[in-house]
Amino acid sequence: MLISIPPKYSVAQVVGFIKGKSAIHIARTYLGRRKNFTGQNFWARGYYVTTVGRDEATIRAYIQHQEKEDERLSQMDLW
């Protein structure tokens, strides 16, 4: 995932928001839960963050290539 965070938000805030909202969405969509998520963990506690400077185009190309590779591999699983 490659995202840009405005300086007024901390990395921890943004990662916490993404992890929280996505866990709730996954639980509602795939586990049929509507509420009562307390005490449950979906994501690991940690995360890794790094900055991107001049290599942003290279990283974007890598991510796009990975998406295509994942699609190719999932098509192979169908046979």
Per-residue model confidence (pLDDT) at position 14? 93
Per-residue model confidence (pLDDT) at position 9? 93
Measured CA to CA, the distance from residue 47 to residue 33 in angstroms comes to: 26
Residue by residue, pLDDT tens for the chain (79 residues) are 888 888 899 999 999 899 888 888 888 887 776 666 666 677 777 888 888 877 888 888 888 888 777 777 777 766 5
Torsion angle of the four alpha carbons 70, 23, 18, 64, in this order, in degrees rounded to the nearest 10: 10
Per-residue model confidence (pLDDT) at position 45? 78
Catalytic residue positions, numbered: 62
pTM comes to: 0.61
**Sign for the pseudo-dihedral over CA of 31, 35, 39, 44:** positive
Could you state, in order of their start, the residue ranges of all structural domains in the chain? 11-77
Per-residue model confidence (pLDDT) at position 13? 94
